[in-house]
Amino acid sequence: MMKNRNFSINTLSKHLFWDADIAEIDEQKHAKYIISKVLQYGLYSDWEKIVKFYKLGKIVDYAVKIRGLDKRTASFLSLISGIPKENFLCYTTEQSIPKHWNF
């Protein structure tokens, strides 16, 4: 993959990586972690940056394996990628402790 010179983890929203040392995160080795954080907690500007860098196919490949992904995000990814919602783990697995509110 050709590296986008304009992409750096430092350009993403700071709140995404509150639980990690940002200097230790590698954009290639930790792609799944970065994509997961952006999909679950990122802003639209963060989404635009990861799509340019990782491409939609790679993002969807990781997203289908995220159990805790919210169903709206999965529906959006299903729509733009053409992959059925049922392929996403968040649709096929139940949480052991369900949320109180279903948004």
Could you report the per-residue pLDDT of 28-71, keeping only the tens digit for each? 999 999 999 999 999 999 999 999 999 999 999 999 999 889 88
44 CB-contact burial (10 Å; exposed 0-12 / middle 13-18 / buried 19+): exposed
- Distance (Å, whole) CA 58 – CA 55: 6
Mean pLDDT, residues 65-82 taken together: 92
User: CA 12, 13, 18, 24: dihedral to nearest 10 degrees?
Assistant: 10
- Distance (Å, whole) CA 1 – CA 9: 17
- pLDDT reading at 1 higher than 90: no
Helical segments of the chain, H only:
31-41, 44-54, 56-63, 71-81, 89-92
pTM of the entire predicted model: 0.81
- Distance (Å, whole) CA 83 – CA 20: 31
Query: Residue 40: its pLDDT value, please?
Result: 92
Across the chain, what does the average pLDDT equal? 87
List the end-to-end C-alpha distance of the chain, in Å, as a whole number: 37
Mean pLDDT, residues 71-92 taken together: 92
- Token readout for 78 is 């299903």
